[in-house]
């Protein structure tokens, strides 16, 4: 068992191989007693109760705090009763421990492949006056330092309740000597690492944009003072959700810290009718006693194998060429086939047709929603193009943006009420498009039928699913007035329902999520699509930060990374093809440029890159990532991938700008077996794992900007 219950003392001990999480009952309230390194199951935990056994609710470290009865800190939930009052008080009613992990109705979540992997504790809380029952669920993985938390609300009374706040997790820490780490940014510069010291007061990140957003990822970590990549305690929180979220820390006057994460309470409410229930998204909590790097690797292994699903979860991902930056909207069948033919000569495996193939789509101002081939550009349709591409030995992929509708489209002219809108208000356009109302079953059915028709008639093996604007005028014509604040969440639930249908109906298709790049790079989407287009910024220098930051939570197998043309279309920078290739080969590798314009020298280098990636991609996509040098801290970046058995490793090093008379650089490696000797492929040099990790690997002196290097290590014997 991974959950030990001392009923006589009211103590619940959740335990994995390297972690313990302890809850105790104090005056009927579940209180947080401990989260950290593993405690023995037979340990006397009475001492954990002593510091919290007395005092007001404002000092009690509650597991799921409420507002209005004496705790003035950030609450985890709030409910409005039919008489207009907002005071509720949940008290402990019972518990249940089960083997395995239950699914969440209508929501993505991490899972187990056998019940023996995890145990689940369900704490049952009740407010007898309001007839409100709340179930706090904690699943602890026995072999992973992971707890998955979610909450279910149910109305057991005769009156209607209104949920105004329903977060997924709340944890009270006994001290505030921590830093908050999170990913911030904007379109084309996502996943910038922000780290700031906790001070008395509140610090929050959030999205009110209808998706998880480029601005903030639904992730935050609290790191003990002094914790870095390789040492110190770190507590990670990641929300398995793709819409509006919030994550907040509050440090009170006594130096304790409350962290909460879940659905954004702004513009949210949920009507709980008698007999009704509401399920929150899941928060995945990770403990590391060995720094930020170990937290990341725990998330990587979990999300790669117990969040992602389907045929491609454990498969090597194909090397692709996408025509977007090569042609934009200006293409025809012959031009596309020419790019695919050049790709075949280089060893590329997949050709992807991006935007512009449907309706009358000559620019981004029309035709979204009209998912019918444009026979002006493709006289033989998609089937003819796919046949030509297949004839060159490449698979065929396609871009779609199914959540959007253009006012200049046949669909909008037929169904102007199918978009999110508020009667009497203007419909805000972004990129000349509106958002389809996915709360409506008939809208989802139309999209399902439209896409199914294509997927069934064209040999499509890859879909890039894009979303290029935030939600505005968030209202639904089919929801009553007292449910309008449910629209944003119902939109996400509708999206999940559609994705479940499509991915189940077409399991042979590799789906890649995109939201103008990384605007919806979150665990919720990875449940349906095992990879995401990391950013619309394809500049290799910018990608160092974007991919490094994204790796705080997400594995390399989830990151789409392409080589694009120079000057780069986002920043105008010139970088060598070798540098661009090394950056892109640190994720799911591909090209996004006109291969027919390559010089002979570039073709030979690209051919070598493709051949090399085929040899190493299983290590990149399935290996353990160790971040060695950060692009946020200097001119150099380095990371490496290590096989599970530690017998093979791949080291990438990048230097952005040259410097005069540089010092000798020794790069300290990580994750190797100190007792093994490693040969550097291509050089014949052999070094001990202990030497490489403690003394380092000597980097060559090359006097030019944009230098990169790759070292492939294999164990001797």
How far apart, in whole angstroms, are the C-alpha atoms of residue 558 and residue 520? Answer: 12
Q: Are strands 118-127 and 132-141 parallel, antiparallel or unpaired?
A: antiparallel
H or E segment to which residue 197 belongs? strand 192-197
Helix runs in 527-599, H state only: 540-550, 577-584
Residue 8: C-alpha distances to residues 5, 11, 12, 25, 121 (Å): 9, 8, 11, 10, 17
CA angle 394, 395, 399 (to 5 degrees): 125
The pair of structure tokens assigned to 557 is 């197998």
Give which of 350, 325, 341, 349 is closest to 388, Cα–Cα.
Answer: 341
Could you give the 3-state DSSP secondary structure of residue 253? coil
The pair of structure tokens assigned to 232 is 């110190």
Q: How many CB atoms lie within 10 A of CB 649?
A: 27
- 598 beta partners: none
CA 555, chain centre distance (Å): 9
Burial class, 242, CB count within 10 angstroms (exposed 0-12 / middle 13-18 / buried 19+): buried
Q: Are strands 588-592 and 320-322 parallel, antiparallel or unpaired?
A: parallel
Q: How many CB atoms lie within 10 A of CB 459?
A: 14
How far apart, in whole angstroms, are the C-alpha atoms of residue 153 and residue 263? Answer: 14
Residue 2 · residue 142 · CB < 8 Å: yes
Report the chain's terminal Cα–Cα distance, integer Å. Answer: 39
The catalytic residue positions are: 466, 536
Q: How many CB atoms lie within 10 A of CB 614?
A: 14
How far apart, in whole angstroms, are the C-alpha atoms of residue 481 and residue 467? Answer: 28
Residue 134 · residue 64 · CB < 8 Å: yes
Residue 437 · residue 491 · CB < 8 Å: yes
Per DSSP, 597 falls in state G
Length of the chain: 717
Residue 714 · residue 650 · CB < 8 Å: no
Among left, alpha and beta (phi > 0; psi -120 to 50; other), residue 437 is beta
Residue 423: C-alpha distances to residues 103, 432, 440 (Å): 37, 20, 17
Per DSSP, 364 falls in state T
């Amino acid at each position: 068992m991974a959950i030990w219950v001392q009923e006589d003392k009211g103590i619940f001990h959740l335990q994995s191989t390297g972690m313990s999480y302890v809850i105790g009952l104090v005056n009927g309230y579940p209180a947080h007693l401990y989260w950290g390194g593993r405690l023995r199951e037979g340990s006397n935990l009475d001492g954990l109760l002593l510091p919290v056994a007395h005092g007001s609710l404002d000092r009690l470290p509650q597991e799921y705090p409420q507002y209005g009865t004496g705790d003035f800190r950030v609450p985890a939930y709030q409910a409005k009763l039919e008489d207009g009052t907002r005071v509720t008080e949940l008290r402990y009613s019972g518990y249940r421990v089960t083997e395995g992990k239950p699914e969440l109705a209508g929501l993505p979540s991490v899972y187990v492949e056998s019940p023996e992997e995890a145990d689940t504790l369900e704490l049952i809380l009740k407010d007898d006056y309001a007839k409100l029952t709340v179930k706090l669920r904690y699943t602890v993985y026995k072999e992973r330092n992971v707890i998955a938390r979610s909450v279910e609300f149910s109305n057991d009374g005769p009156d209607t309740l209104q949920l105004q706040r329903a977060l997924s997790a709340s944890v009270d820490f006994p001290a505030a000597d921590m830093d908050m780490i999170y990913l911030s940014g904007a379109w084309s510069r996502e996943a910038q690492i922000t780290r700031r010291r906790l001070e008395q007061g509140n610090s929050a990140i959030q999205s009110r944009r209808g998706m998880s957003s480029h601005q903030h990822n639904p992730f935050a970590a609290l790191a003990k003072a002094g914790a870095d990549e390789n040492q110190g305690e770190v507590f990670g929180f990641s929300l398995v959700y793709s819409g509006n979220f919030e994550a907040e820390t509050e440090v009170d006057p006594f130096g304790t810290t409350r962290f909460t994460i879940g659905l954004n309470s702004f513009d949210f409410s949920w009507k709980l009718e008698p007999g009704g229930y509401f399920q929150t998204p899941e928060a995945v909590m990770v403990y590391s006693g060995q720094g930020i790097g170990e937290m990341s690797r725990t998330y990587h292994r979990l999300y790669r194998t117990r969040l992602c699903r389907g045929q491609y979860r454990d498969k090597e991902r194909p090397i692709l060429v996408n025509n977007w930056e090569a042609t934009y909207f200006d293409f025809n069948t012959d031009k596309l086939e020419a790019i695919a033919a050049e790709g075949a000569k280089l060893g590329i495996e997949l050709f992807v047709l991006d935007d512009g193939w449907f309706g009358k789509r000559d620019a981004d101002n029309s035709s979204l929603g009209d998912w019918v081939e444009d026979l002006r550009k493709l006289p033989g349709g998609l089937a003819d193009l796919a046949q030509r591409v297949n004839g060159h030995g490449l698979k065929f992929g396609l871009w779609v943006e199914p959540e959007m509708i253009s006012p200049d489209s046949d669909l909008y002219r037929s169904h102007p009420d199918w978009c999110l809108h508020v009667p009497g208000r203007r419909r805000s356009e972004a990129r000349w498009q509106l958002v389809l109302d996915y709360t409506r079953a008939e809208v989802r059915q139309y999209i399902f039928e439209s896409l199914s028709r294509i997927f069934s008639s064209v040999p499509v093996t890859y879909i890039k699913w894009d979303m290029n604007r935030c939600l505005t005028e968030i209202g639904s014509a089919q929801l009553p007035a007292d449910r309008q604040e449910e629209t944003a969440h119902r939109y996400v639930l509708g999206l999940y329902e559609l994705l479940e249908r499509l991915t189940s109906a077409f399991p042979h298709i590799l789906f890649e999520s995109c939201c103008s790049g990384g605007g919806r790079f979150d665990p919720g989407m990875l449940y349906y699509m095992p990879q995401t287009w990391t950013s619309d910024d394809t500049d290799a220098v910018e990608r160092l930060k974007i991919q490094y930051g994204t790796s705080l939570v997400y594995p390399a197998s989830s990151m789409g990374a392409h080589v694009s043309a120079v000057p780069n279309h986002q920043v105008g920078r010139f970088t060598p093809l070798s540098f661009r290739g090394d950056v892109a080969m640190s994720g799911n590798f591909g090209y996004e440029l006109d291969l027919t314009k390559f010089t002979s020298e570039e073709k030979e280098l690209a051919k070598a890159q493709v051949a090399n990636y085929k040899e190493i991609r299983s290590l990149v996509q399935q290996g353990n990532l160790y971040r060695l040098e950060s692009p946020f801290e200097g001119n150099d970046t380095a990371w490496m991938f290590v096989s599970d058995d530690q017998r093979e490793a791949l080291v990438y090093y990048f230097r952005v700008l040259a410097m005069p008379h540089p010092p000798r650089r020794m790069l300290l490696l990580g994750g190797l077996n100190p007792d093994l000797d490693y040969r550097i492929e291509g050089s014949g040099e052999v070094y001990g794992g202990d030497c490489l990790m403690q003394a380092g690997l000597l980097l060559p002196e090359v006097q030019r900007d944009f230098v990169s290097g790759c070292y492939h290590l294999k164990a001797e014997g």
